[in-house]
Amino acid sequence: MPYYRSVGEVPRKRHTQFRQPDGTLYAEELVGQEGFSSDSSLLYHRHAPTAILAAEEFAPPAVTRVPNLPLKPRHLRTHKLDGAGADPVLGRQYLLANDDVRIAYVLADRPSPLFRDATGDHCLYLESGSLRVESPFGVLDAVAGDYVVIPTSTIHRLVPTGDEPTRLLAVEASGHIGPPKRYLSVRGQFLEHSPYCERDVRGPDTPLLVDGEEVEVLVKHRRGWTRYVYANHPFDVVGWDGHMYPWAFSIHDFEPITGRIHQPPPVHQTFQGPNFVICSFVPRKVDYHPAAIPVPYNHHNVDSDEMLFYTGGNYEARRGSGIEQGSISLHPSGFTHGPQPGAAERSIGADFFDELAVMVDTFRPLDLCDAATACEDDGYAWTWARKP
């Protein structure tokens, strides 16, 4: 995360004696990226974070991936995956994946187990409902429209809150997710041309202290999954400081960049990950050149697949294609895509678009997972051939 936070009690100097009321030392834990060469945070535990009592291999729900063959645009209706509800980690239904990123959807109505992903960061987007993110860093509350970024190897628990189940889009990276580098100074401050800044970002602000012994934690790692039994609950941190922690940002705080003629998708970029980007399409004033065509032109992104999750409003370029709340469109590299027939003409003269969508562009092809096949609209690919 691009700025420093300090929460709870920490000593004045790092790596010096910091004692508990009974005189014993707090246990330091340095959590850092890229060895000791990038962002990190220093946590102070009541108990040793290394103390485990058992470890056994764990079999997670199976996920099958198949290539997007025949190559064609796809439309996935995530709300057709609704069932009795699930927990927001093990209940994820995987839709699209490659070796850089996995995209899943879940309707969650119960807490997850304690979980750590040692393979990469997670970016969660709340379509609806609310969620409490618990971790050794404290509590982070999220509501509809929030992105939540959970750093690699953070033990956490996701707890749906409120009366309604939480709808969640999960983007799991094989690496780290953060703001686009072009929005940051050499020292990590958001620059003036950034569409959001430090004031828009939320992080935990008080410690979360949970007493407990012999606690299970599921860990996803580079060789599979392991179920550990920790001697003490990992949420025993009295204070921490640093630049690495779970953080939240609302899509409603993203300030759109507009122009006289149509602006390309990079102006909507919100995050970057390893070989992918995440963009936010929000309600905005549209192109104001007197001859402007506000909807996108036909385009062929020769290096990337484009996934768009429709999460509110009315997406003008897709009207007439069956797109609805919770829809996901996949437009793969190798296929020219663009607005639906008649959309360009209809958009002329518009001065405002009321749309809300999350886009993930990947630079390696996305495979289809089981849940994508289960909720696909088979007629979508042929909608460009229909007369408006």
| Binding site, annotated residues for homogentisate | 315
Distance of CA 353 to the CA centre of its chain: 24
Answer for the pair 132, 190: CB distance below 8 angstroms, yes or no.
no
3-state secondary structure of 243: coil
Length of the chain: 388
Evaluate whether 137 touches 203 at the Cβ level (below 8 Å): yes
Annotated catalytic residue within 262, 289, 300, 331: 262
Give kind and range of the element (H or E) at residue 346: helix 343-347
3 state DSSP class of 286: coil
Kind of pairing, strands 213-221 and 115-117?
Answer: parallel
Maximum CA extent, the chain: 78
Annotated binding site: which residue ranges?
299, 305, 315, 337
Is 252 among the catalytic positions?
no
Backbone φ and ψ of 341, nearest 5°: -55, 130
Annotated binding-site positions for Fe cation:
299, 305, 337
CA angle at 108 for the pair 104 and 113, rounded to the nearest 5° = 90
329 Cβ partners below 8 Å, 6+ apart? 73, 74, 75, 76, 306, 307, 308, 310, 318, 323, 380
Catalytic sites, residue numbers: 262
